[in-house]
Amino acid sequence: MLIRWLAIALFATLAACEAGGSMTPPPPRAVPPAPLASAANAPGAAQASGRSTTLAPASAGSRRYALVFGNGAYAHGDALAGAPRDAALIASALRERGYEVLLAVDRDLDGMREDVAAFEAMSAGAELRVLYFAGHGFEFEHANYLMPVDLPAAIGKLDRQAVRNNGVRLDELVWTLGQGTPALVAIIDACRVAPARGLQAARALGELSPARGTILAYATAPGRVALDSLRSYGVDADHSPYSYFLASALRSREVASWDQAFLSAASIVMQQTHGAQQPWMNAQVDRFPQLGALPASTDPARAGTTTLLGLEITPERRAAGRYWARQAQLARTLAQDGSRTDASLEEQAARGDANAALALATRSWERGDTADALRRLEGLARAGHAAARTDLGTLLHSLKASDSEGHVARYWWQLASAQGIGEARAKLALAGNGDDEAAMMEFMRGLVETHEAFAPAGAGADP
């Protein structure tokens, strides 16, 4: 059966219904990405009128390729300073996954066409192609256009003829790159309202129906804004929310396939932006492709602490695990507080207190009202609450059931594990082949991470 996901924005709707609006302050990410140096200064960068295209070769035998555009040097007051940084970040994350990446920064129309032709040639026979675009994009006359940097006027003043003459049609680009490969992933980090990413406007970047074997992922839903910087939400990162958290997912060893990466990024973006940005995806595939294996880390900055069992835990997973352990403990305390009535907890949850919502789910579970517990946990889980995802997986597993979308326990444990939850990691291992050496090692890592999450602050660097 073909998989067709028409609106990951369902997360936000469920979050508003079940958790009462915005969630608790955003947690630390389990695997925050590190930015790549400017592409214009990268070794081997080909210069063209102050713009650059960089080829980052992958390991020998790679059949996964990515074409990454970052257009930000728009004239006439339409510049997007973050787009080249976002493109470089995604290119770096894909390179770590073994993709051969063509990174194109601040390209004019001729340059974009040249890059597409070069990418077609270099990726002939690919098992998977990836297209990423950060920059201005919008719809004119039912056609979606990605805009090069050499526009003749301010974007808000472009007429239809100028758009047709100067823009790159997304449907034609997707069709071209989809030829000769069994799978194409197209990722568009552009505003879906015209004329500018991050600005208010009138015409939305419209829906494009993908061909079989194609996955289309947008930074935001139709008619919604794609934010240009996380700094608007107090995060010290000069990247768009979508690119930042997608790169984070790509760098997580717990995220194995493209659907997991998109789900992880979507849930945290919606939580981080309090629903202002809602990532969206549309796909026509029988099965989502795997991301590719990550190499062993050699970066001292990413090195973790070694436990008594000799197992390494990265600082990011330790910080994320401890954050969620605190949230789970707060919810447990609320659930056990006899002075707190269900009605008072409902009021707290309606004001956006996720721990109160989780406490209500816990009470329902403990008194045997599994239907209500599932409903509440599913709402929190879809909003990105890692502790609720773990509990939802556990409840589904005990009931041998699935949620309203047909997902079973492993699905939610995978997402929770990607957010740094050791308990979910251990349960995933047990749900597989417990006699397998790799599964047993994963189980031990999960136990160690669970212990570290609840360890006293003095036992390690508390985030």
- Joined together, the tokens standing for residue 257 give 């396939």
Same-domain pairing of 254 and 310: no
Residue 127 near residue 99, CB atoms below 8 Å: no
The verdict on 210 and 319 lying in the same domain is no
In-domain check, residue 232: yes
Write out the E strands in 266-402. Answer: 280-284, 305-306, 312-313
Residues 243 and 304 in one domain: no
Q: Give the per-residue pLDDT at 325.
A: 81
3-class secondary-structure state, position 158: coil
CA distances from 42 to 36, 55, 88, 319, 355 (A): 9, 10, 10, 32, 46
Residues 188 and 261 in one domain: yes
3-state SS, 209-272, equals CCCCCEEEEECCCCCCCCCCCHHHHCCCCCCCHHHHHHHHHHCCCCCCEHHHHHHHHHHHHHHH
Residue 193 and residue 225 in contact, taking contact as beta carbons nearer than 8 Å: yes
- Predicted local distance difference test score (pLDDT) of residue 369: 94
Q: Which of 225, 253, 284 is the last residue of a domain?
A: 284
Are 455 and 447 in contact by the 8 Å Cβ rule? The answer is: no
* Residue 124 falls inside a structural domain: yes
- Among the candidates 216, 251, 284, a domain finishes at 284
DSSP code of residue 295: P
Q: Note whether 336 and 210 are same-domain residues.
A: no
d(CA 133, CA 136): 9
Q: What is the DSSP letter of 348?
A: H
For each of the chain's 463 residues, which pLDDT tens digit applies?
333 333 333 333 323 333 333 333 344 444 333 333 333 333 333 333 346 666 666 555 568 999 999 999 998 888 888 899 999 999 999 999 999 999 999 999 999 999 999 999 999 999 999 999 999 887 777 778 899 999 998 888 888 788 888 899 999 999 999 988 899 999 998 864 444 444 334 344 555 666 678 899 988 766 666 666 666 655 556 788 888 889 888 888 778 889 888 887 887 777 667 777 778 888 877 888 899 888 765 444 444 454 444 555 666 567 667 777 888 888 889 999 988 899 999 999 998 888 899 999 999 999 999 999 999 999 998 888 888 999 999 999 999 998 888 888 888 888 888 777 888 888 887 876 545 666 666 677 667 777 766 665 444 433 3
Q: What does the longest C-alpha to C-alpha distance in the chain come to?
A: 70
Find the domain containing 120 and state its range.
Answer: 31-284
Domain co-membership, 250 together with 307:
no
Instruction: Give pLDDT, residue 20.
Output: 34
Q: Where are the beta strands (DSSP E) in 50-119?
A: 51-56, 64-70, 100-105
Residues 208 and 239 in one domain: yes
Q: How far is CA 7 from the centre of its chain?
A: 15
**247 is a domain residue:** yes
Q: Are residues 56 and 158 in the same domain?
A: yes
Rounded to the nearest 10°, the torsion over CA 228, 231, 232, 234 is: 150
In a domain, 3, yes or no: no
Q: Quote the pLDDT of residue 229.
A: 63
Rounded to 5°, the CA angle 172-197-66 comes to 45
Give the torsion through C-alpha atoms of 414, 415, 416, 417, to 10 deg.
50
Identify residue 89 by its one-letter amino acid code. Answer: L
Same domain as 251, residue 161:
yes
As a three-state string, the secondary structure of 104-134 is EECCCHHHHHHHHHHHHHHCCCCCEEEEEEE
- Is 177 found in the same domain as 72? yes
CATH of the domain at 272: 3.40.50.1460
Say whether both 309 and 246 belong to one domain: no
Indicate the burial class of 1 (C-beta count within 10 angstroms; 0-12, 13-18, 19 or more). exposed
Say whether 363 sits in a helix, a strand or coil. helix
* CA 387 to chain CA mean position, Å: 18
pLDDT for 65: 96
pLDDT of residue 222: 65
CATH number at residue 440: 1.25.40.10
Say yes or no: 178 and 69 in one domain.
yes
Domain's final residue, options 284, 311, 340: 284
Going from the C-alpha of 152 to that of each of 102, 107, 159, 263, 303, the distances in angstroms are 26, 14, 10, 38, 48
Pairing of strands 51-56, 100-105: antiparallel
* pLDDT score at 261: 87
pLDDT of residue 5: 38
pLDDT for the residue numbered 375 = 94
Domain total of the chain: 2
First to last CA, the chain: 44
